[in-house]
Chain A
Amino acid sequence: MGMTMVQKILARATGLKEVNVGDVLEPKVDVAMSHENAALVINQFYEIYKGTNLEPKVFDPEKIVIIFDHRVPAESSKTATNQKKIREFVRMQGIKNFHDINSIDGGICHQILPEYGYVRPGYVVVGTDSHTTTHGALGAFAFGIGATEMASIWALGVALNIEVPPTIKVVVNGKLPKYVLPKDIILHLIGKITAEGANFKVLEFHGDTIKNMNVSGRLVLCNMSVEAGATSGIVPVDEETLRYLKEEAGVKENINKLTPDPDAVYDSVVEIDASKLVPQIACPHSVDNVKPVNEVEGKKIDQIVIGSCTNGRLDDLEIAANILKGKKISKSVRMLVFPASWRIYKNALKKGYIGILVDAGAVIMNPGCGCCLGVHQGALGDGEVALSTTNRNFKGRMGNPNSEIYLCSPAVAAASAIKGEITDPRKI
C-alpha cells in the first residue's frame, strides 16, 4: 500500500520498510530544537540521570539546536538567569548549533532552522515549541513537544511512543488574487475545519497553488497548521524546495526528493479554490473564528503588528513596504514590526523596506517573538484592539485578557495602518 509523506519519513527513521497509521514507533531524531525553554529541558534532563551513576551527556550535540528568540533581550532577571544557564550547558555539552542574542545569526527559531539549512526533506524534527510544524514546508516531519519529552530525546536520541498519524490531503488550486496571500489560505482552512479539525493528524498540502508558491509562503501554511490542531503540516519536495535549500539555506549535500506515493491513503481530502479567496480575518478569541475582511472592515485598531514566525519574512516586509510607500500610518495607531531574523532585517534594510516603514511611522523592533506571546515589547491596554500577522488570538495572548486580537495577512495589516481601522488592501 502507498505511503504518505509522514509514513515514508517514519519508515526511514525506524529502519522499517513500511509503516501503517496507528503503529507506535520510536523514530530517530535528526534535529532537536529548543529556545529559552531549554532551561526547563536542562532541569528535566538532569532529573533523568539522578541515581543512575551515568554521566548526563546529550545523545548527539550536532543534532541539538538552541535559539534564543522568545524574550530577547531578556525582559527580566529571571529570563536572563535562564539564558545564562543555557549558555553554560551549551558550552559544557559541546553544542555548536547555538544562536544567541546577536545580529549575525540571531532570529526566531522557526526562521533560523530553515534559513541555516538545519532542516532537510525526510528529517524528523522536534522542537519544544508548538509552531515546529513550520518545518514541514521543507518536507520534514516536524512537530512540537514538551520539555520533558525533549529531555528524554536528549538522553535517548529517539522520540518514544510516536503513533503514525493519519494525514488529511489539502488540495489548493487556482491563482491567488492580488493581495490575497498564503496567510489567507491557512486562515480560511482553519475556519473551515476548526481549531481541532486536524487534531492528532497531519495536513499534507497539494495543488497548483502550492506548486507555484515559494518556500516562504509554504512556511506560513505549515506554521499555522497547528492552529487546526495538526501534529504537523507538510509539503512534498519539488524544484522550489531544492532552490530554497541550495540558494537560500546554502545546502550543498544531496537532497532527498521526497514525495508521497501516488496511491497513498488519506484520512480525508479538503479542496480549496484559491482564485475565489478574499483576505481573511481571524476574530477574537479563537483562530477558527474566521471571517472575510468585508465583515469586519472599519473596526478601529490600537496596535498593528507585523512579524513573528508566521509573517516576519522578507516578502511580508516587502508587501507592507509596497503598500505604505510614501504614506503615513494613522495617528490613532502604533505599528510594530518584528523581522523574523537578522538576515531578513539586513536584507530589508538593503532593499529599502525598513526605511519606507520607518518613514510611514512604524517602530522597527529587534528580530524575535516580540509581543506575540505577551511577555514584552508591546502589551495591550485594557479594552485595546490589536491587528496582527502573528498566529494566535487567544484571550490574554498579548499580555492582557481585557484586550482583543484580530489576525490577518501583512497586506491587510499594512493597509489597515493607514486609516487605523481594518481595511481591505484591495481597496487602497
Chain B
Amino acid sequence: MSRVVLKLGNDISTDIIYPGRYMATVLPTETPQYAFADNKEFNKKLNNKEIPPGSIIVAGENFGCGSSREQAASTLKGHELVIIAKSFARIFLQNAINLGLKVIICPEIEADEGDEIEIIEGFVFNKTKNKKFQITPLPKTRQSIIDAGGLIAYTRKRLIEKT
C-alpha cells in the first residue's frame, strides 16, 4: 500500500522534473537532491526523507516530455518513487525502464493526493476511491530489460554473449 504524494497535470516536462541548470550533475547518487527543484515544498519533503520509498506520483498525458536528460529518471529513481501516468513521452519512458524507475501506464487513472493505492495484477486499485483502473502493459521487449535489472546489466549480458 502506497500513497499518492503528488498529483500533476498533462505535459510535465523534464525541465519541471529536473531543471536544466542542474544538468552538470550526473551521478545517480547526486541527482536526487534536485528532483522537482522548482517545487520547493515537494523538493524539501523529498530531501528531508518525509516521503517514504514506493510513494506515488500521479500524472496526466505525456509525462516526461522534452529533453532526453536521463537525470529526470535517475532523480526520481533515487527517491524510489513510482510514476503512474495516463501516458509517457518516449525518451523518458525508455530512460525510466533502462534505469529501473517504476513507471505504470494507466490511461484512465483517477487519484488525488493522499489516496491509498495498491498495484494488483494488471490493475491500479485506488483504495480511497474504491475504484480500479486497468494498466497498459509495457511491450515484452521492454520487459526483458526490466527482468535483467536494467539496461546496464542487459547490455553486459549481451556483450559477454557476443565475445
A223 within 8 Å of B (CB atoms): no
Contact residues, B1-42 vs A (CB, 8 A): 10-11, 13, 15-16, 19-21, 23-27, 38
Contact A196 B89 (CB under 8 A): yes
Residues of A within 8 A of B21 (CB): 374-375, 399
A368 within 8 Å of B (CB atoms): no
A358 within 8 Å of B (CB atoms): no
Contact residues, B146-160 vs A (CB, 8 A): 150-152, 154-156, 158-160
Known: A144-B68, A146-B94, A394-B15. A374 touches B20 (CB 8 A): yes
Known: A200-B90, A397-B15. A52 touches B156 (CB 8 A): yes
Complex CA–CA separation, A321 to B152 (angstroms): 49
Complex CA–CA separation, A49 to B158 (angstroms): 11
Chain A binder among B45-53, B59-67, B113-121, B129-137: B59-67
Contact B152 A148 (CB under 8 A): yes
Contact B142 A161 (CB under 8 A): yes
Residues of A within 8 A of B61 (CB): 196
Question: Which residues from chain A sit less than 8 Å from chain B, CB to CB?
Answer: 24, 36-37, 39-40, 43-44, 47-52, 54, 70-71, 76, 78-79, 82, 127-130, 132, 144-149, 151-152, 155-156, 160-161, 163, 195-196, 199-200, 229, 231, 286, 288, 373-375, 392, 394-397, 399, 401
- 26 CB < 8 A contacts A-B: A37-B23, A37-B70, A40-B26, A44-B152, A48-B159, A52-B160, A144-B68, A146-B68, A148-B98, A148-B99, A148-B152, A149-B151, A151-B152, A152-B151, A152-B154, A156-B162, A160-B151, A160-B158, A195-B11, A196-B65, A286-B11, A374-B19, A392-B66, A394-B15, A394-B16, A401-B38
CB distance from A194 to the nearest CB of B (A): 9
Complex CA–CA separation, A288 to B156 (angstroms): 40
Known: A149-B151, A200-B90, A374-B20. A195 touches B67 (CB 8 A): no
CB distance from A25 to the nearest CB of B (A): 10
Question: Which residues from chain B sit less than 8 Å from chain A, CB to CB?
Answer: 10-11, 13, 15-16, 19-21, 23-27, 38, 61-62, 65-71, 73, 87, 89-91, 94-95, 98-99, 139, 141-142, 144-145, 150-152, 154-156, 158-160, 162-163
CB distance from B98 to the nearest CB of A (A): 5
Complex CA–CA separation, A397 to B65 (angstroms): 13
Complex CA–CA separation, A195 to B9 (angstroms): 14
List of 6 A-B pairs having minimum Cβ-Cβ separation, nearest first: A146-B95, A196-B62, A373-B20, A40-B26, A394-B13, A146-B70
Contact B89 A229 (CB under 8 A): yes
> Can you name the residue of chain A whose Cβ is closest to the Cβ of B156?
A48
Complex CA–CA separation, A128 to B145 (angstroms): 19
CB distance from B1 to the nearest CB of A (A): 31
Residues of A within 8 A of B19 (CB): 374, 396, 399
Contact B94 A145 (CB under 8 A): yes
CB distance from B26 to the nearest CB of A (A): 4
> Can you name the residue of chain B whose Cβ is closest to the Cβ of A129?
B68
Residues of A within 8 A of B154 (CB): 152, 160
Cβ-neighbour of B155 out of A76, A155, A195 (below 8 A): A155
CB distance from B6 to the nearest CB of A (A): 16
Known: A24-B141, A146-B98, A373-B20. A394 touches B66 (CB 8 A): yes
Complex CA–CA separation, A37 to B158 (angstroms): 24
Residues of B within 8 A of A286 (CB): 11
CB distance from A55 to the nearest CB of B (A): 11
Known: A52-B156, A148-B98, A149-B98. 15 other contacts (CB 8 A): A49-B156, A52-B160, A130-B66, A130-B68, A130-B91, A146-B68, A148-B99, A195-B62, A196-B11, A196-B89, A199-B87, A199-B89, A288-B11, A374-B21, A375-B20
CB distance from A263 to the nearest CB of B (A): 28
